[in-house]
Structure 1
Amino acid sequence: MPVNVYLLALSVFALTTSEFMIAGMMPSLAHALDVPIASVGYLISFYAAGMVVGGPVLMLCLLNVPRKRALLALLAVYTLGQSIAAAAMAYEIMVIGRILSGVAASGCFGLALALCAQMVPANKIARSAAIVISGLMFATVLGVPAATALEQLFGWRFVFWLVAALTAASGVVLALSLPNSQVEARTSVSAELASLRNASLWAAYATSALIIGATFAAFSYFAPILMNISGYHASTVPLLLMLYGASTVVGNFIVGRLADRHTMRVLFWGQVILTGALVAFAVFGQMHVVALGALILIGLTGVSLNPAMVTRVIRSANARPLVNTVHASVINIGLFAGSALGGLGMSLDLGMRAPLWVGAGLAVVGVASVVPVMLRSSADASRVKVTGALQSENV
């Protein structure tokens, strides 16, 4: 695997750490910016909104810019946004920095996946995507906890500046190591948007949103569920969440190995396992061993199905940055929709297990979304076998 694929993973690690590290420093930010805790939570939402809305628009503006140059420009914009947030003395300035960072991050994800797809053979796209996406997994396991620890030692501004420096450093290294790229073919906004008018592509997008929605409907409320339903002590919860994060890393690489040759089977069976784990957690979550097993299985599937999702999207349309950027936006929509629906279930007094049932419901719909494709693929394979047999008899 080209070393540049790992360097792209490093940039994704920095971007994702920045997106979620707010959660570990809410009290400090609320005090420094003189705002309620809830307002600090919105900083994650502003970042995500920048990814969902601004990312695709920005990619349309960069259509005819070589991919390397576009990626380096976006990393520079991201570093600027992160620096604005690090220096912010008022909440409004912090919001500007977060939105700017989110817009740039979405384009970076799309370009990173497009670049890794063109650097490897077609039969290794899922493996290369798994490595790039592992930056996201490692950010959850290592980046966010490390950011929280450093914030307690040196303050939140130090962490923001550190992530800005890490992003800038990855940009410098990529500028030196990535081969110069040319625009593959001049295109227009209308032509690029036409590539999105593809039913198979939007079916793939829908499955991705359902998988991420199902996962985050549960994951967003793991801490209270593990304490109040499973009976784990509060001091144990961070270790359990780290175990979940480690499971996503392992699952990501397993899926990356399998997804090139068995994309739809991986998506189907991965969601079946995800559904079973969520249902088991909801029904038997009061048992420590069941809760622990379900936690690991959700980590091994769920978010870890990303390489298979990316491979399906690319095969449904193309590996252009806009297709991948819209995919990142759809995934973020699924993330926040799942989290919101899980919270809605709890707010309607449906109990602490409600997020798990919401996740299971979304996962069932996700399984149903790939069944027609599985059946169509089986029918096509059967027709090929019959045609081959008939041709052999005629010969």
Structure 2
Amino acid sequence: MPPLTDDRSAKLPFVVLVLAAGIFLMGTTEFVIAGLLPEISDDLGVSVSHAGLLITAFAVGMIVGAPAMAIATLRLPRRFTLVLALTVFALGHVVAALSPSFAVVLAARVVTALATGTFWSVAAVVATTAAGPAMTSRALGMLLGGMTVANIASVPLGSWLGQVSNWRGPFWVLAALSAAAAAVIGRYTPDEEQREARSVRAEFAALCQGRVWLALSAIALLMGGVLATYTYISPLLTERAQIPAAAVPLVLTGYGAGALLGTTVGGRLGDRRPLATLITAAATSSLILLLLVFFSTSPVVTVVLVTVMGVTAFAASPVLGALVRRFAGSAPTLASALASSSSNVGVAVGSWVAGIALASPLRQAGPPLVGTVTAALTLVPLTALVLMRATRSDDHAAASDPSPRGRARVG
């Protein structure tokens, strides 16, 4: 696909940065629980494994809630929906911070997951619309960057804050920050130019596009393969690579930094060569995972491979999100929500299979082997997209239509 224009020096609209900050808060609440489970367990009188349901409930809320809430709020103004989602998000954390009941905290987690799914699906549409068709992948890369930074920083910061105060401290901080973010986003999110009612039927009709499902399946396979491996990365590092447990956070920071670099680079390359970027990222990720199977007995090689794995896998994320939105045409909200759900489904299924592999005779080499096969399967839907000549047909149509509508079809 030829480049539209040379936008490498163009700046993203400020609203994209603001929305990325909101995504950072949403991502923080998803990951921070991992570092607080012992404190929550002691305070609420449940086992650590039972407290882990707070993570499961959030994931289920995201999988089911993102598309459901996208439809439920479809006819609301997008700026109002973003502010409402952040407000509910803040109130959910206040309820959790005040409650002595595990059941109430669990319910609050589900509510915050619904708010997160709503915010993500609408923020993706607002950010890419504001950025324009030539910078769609870059805008989504910025949003994913907020999620990646949360992944890197939330667990150690949340754990530290939980130790300084108690597990409720991070919840109060997130409530205050999300309330402030609601005010800022309400101020800087632009008014919508068109006022016609968005159609629920059109949103579902967009899902009849086979290309949408090919892109969604690629998201589930690639994220499932890589993050299933990442779920069990600690035993691979400490038991197979013989890396000291105290050094594991540094290795994970390298992975997070690689993921942040990947979303940035992928966002820029994906606007000009989307399918080439995706195929390269998927093939390279599969190779990295395969190398982990055989060479993760070397500490140095393992650290390098884990870092590069973050770069290659997350380079594909903004491009896949941009393709989903593009293939959905004028009804992108539900498709954007399903992109988030697809990623969570892939991680849930992939982690389950990887856990079985870890308990098998393969031991620590099992999860990266599962990840290799799963990530390699990403090439099937991507190859189908190439064979369908999806981008070339869109480019041809847009080339014959010089209007802004025609240019939008290219992006």
Q: Is the shorter-chain TM-score for this pair beyond 0.5, marking a shared fold?
A: yes
Distance in 2 (CA, whole Å) between partners of 1:161 and 1:222 is 31
- Report if aligned partners of 2:62, 2:341 keep a CA contact under 8 Å in 1: yes
CA distance in 2, matches of 1:255, 1:247: 12
In 2, Cα distance between equivalents of 1:376 and 1:65: 35
- Whether 1:166 and 2:189 are equivalent positions in the alignment is no
What corresponds to 2:116 in structure 1?
A: 105
Q: Which residue of 1 is the match for residue 277 of structure 2?
A: 266
Q: Given the alignment, which residue of 312, 317, 320 partners 1:306?
A: 317
Cα distance in 2, alignment partners of residues 243 and 379 from structure 1: 34
Q: Equivalents in 1 of 2:203, 2:266: separation in Å? A: 30
Look up the match of 2:53. Answer: 42
Aligned partner of 1:135 in structure 2 is 146
2:158 and 2:170 in contact (8 A); partners too:
yes
**What CA deviation, in whole Å up to 9, does each residue of 1:212-255 have, x standing for no partner?**
10111110011110011111011111110011111111111010
**1:205 has 2:223 as partner:** no
CA distance in 2, matches of 1:57, 1:190: 14
Task: Kindly state the Cα deviation for residue 183 of structure 1 after the two structures are TM-superposed.
Answer: 5.6
Alignment check: 8 A CA contact 2:279 2:382 kept: yes
1:184-238, CA deviations, whole angstroms, 9 ceiling, x for partnerless residues?
Answer: 5324433322221221101100000001101111100111100111110111111
RMSD: 1.7
* Residue of structure 2 aligned with 1:118, choices 107, 120, 129: 129
With 64-73 and 348-357 compared, the bigger mean Cα shift is at: 348-357
Using the TM superposition, give the Cα deviation of residue 332 of structure 1 relative to its aligned residue in structure 2, in angstroms: 0.9
Q: 1:66–1:182: 8 Å Cα contact kept in structure 2?
A: no
CA shift, 1:289, in A, is: 2.4
Q: Per the alignment, do residues 379 and 7 of structure 1 end up closer, same or farther by CA in structure 2, a change over 3 Å counting?
A: closer
**Closer/same/farther in 2, CA of residues 47 and 253 from structure 1, 3 Å limit:** same
**Alpha-carbon distance in 2 for matches of 1:334, 1:145:** 25
Distance 1:342 1:371 in 2: 25
**Cα distance between partner residues in 2 of 1:228 and 1:369:** 35
Q: TM-score, normalised on structure 1? A: 0.93
Q: Does 1:342 align with 2:354?
A: yes
Q: Distance in 1 between matches of 2:165 and 2:99?
A: 17
Select which of 263, 279, 282 maps to 2:293.
282
8 A contact 2:214–2:385 mirrored in 1: no
- Name which of 216, 231, 240 aligns with 2:242: 231
- SS of the aligned residue for 1:22 comes to helix
Partner of 1:390: none
Alignment-derived partner of residue 364 in structure 1: 376
Q: How does 1:47-126 map to 2 (within 5 A)?
A: 47-126=58-137
- Which one of 1, 6, 12 corresponds to residue 23 of structure 2? 12
Instruction: Give the structure 2 partner of residue 2 of structure 1.
Output: 13
**How far does residue 55 in structure 1 lie from its aligned partner after superposition?**
2.2
Q: CA 1:188/1:2 → structure 2, altered by over 3 Å: closer, same or farther?
A: closer
Percent identical among aligned pairs is 28
In the alignment, which of 337, 345, 351 is matched to residue 325 of structure 1?
A: 337
Deviations 1:295-339 (A, max 9, x none): 011110123421111111112113632211111111111111111
1:250 paired residue number: 261
Residues 309 and 23 (structure 1), Cα distance of their counterparts in 2 relative to 1, 3 Å cut: same
2:367 corresponds in structure 1 to 355
Q: Quick one: distance in 1 between partners of 2:66 and 2:292?
A: 36
**What runs of 5+ residues in structure 2 fail to find an aligned partner?**
1-11, 397-411
Distance, in Å, in 2 between the alignment partners of 1:188 and 1:272 is 38
Counterpart CA distance in 1 for 2:162 and 2:390 is 53
| Greater alpha carbon shift after TM alignment, 182-191 vs 44-53 | 182-191
Large movers: runs of 4+ above 4 Å: 378-381
Distance 2:315 2:172 in 1: 30
What SS does the aligned partner of 1:301 have? helix
1:379: Cα distance to partner?
11
Aligned to 1:389: none
Counterparts in 2 of 1:142 and 1:304: CA distance versus 1, 3 Å: farther
1:357-388: CA deviation from partner (whole Å, max 9, x where unpaired) = 0000001101222122224439969xx8xxxx
- Give the conservation status (yes or no) of the 8 Å contact 1:59–1:107: yes
Distance in 1 separating the partners of 2:391 and 2:181: 47
Deviation at 1:348, TM superposition (A): 3.4
**Which segment drifts farther, 55-64 or 254-263?**
55-64
Alpha-carbon contact 2:289-2:309 (below 8 Å) kept: yes
Q: Distance in 2 between matches of 1:15 and 1:24?
A: 16
Q: Secondary structure at the match of 2:363?
A: coil
Indicate the larger mover: 141-150 or 168-177.
141-150
Provide the rounded CA distance (Å) in 1 between the counterparts of 2:179 and 2:203. 30
Q: How many residues align?
A: 382
Q: What is the DSSP-based 3-state SS (H/G/I as helix, E as strand, rest coil) of the residue aligned with 1:353?
A: helix
2:97–2:171 contact (8 Å) kept in structure 1: yes
> Would you say the 8 A contact 1:64–1:183 is kept in 2?
no
Alignment equivalent of 1:190, drawn from 185, 198, 201: 201
Q: Deviation of residue 145 (structure 1)?
A: 1.8
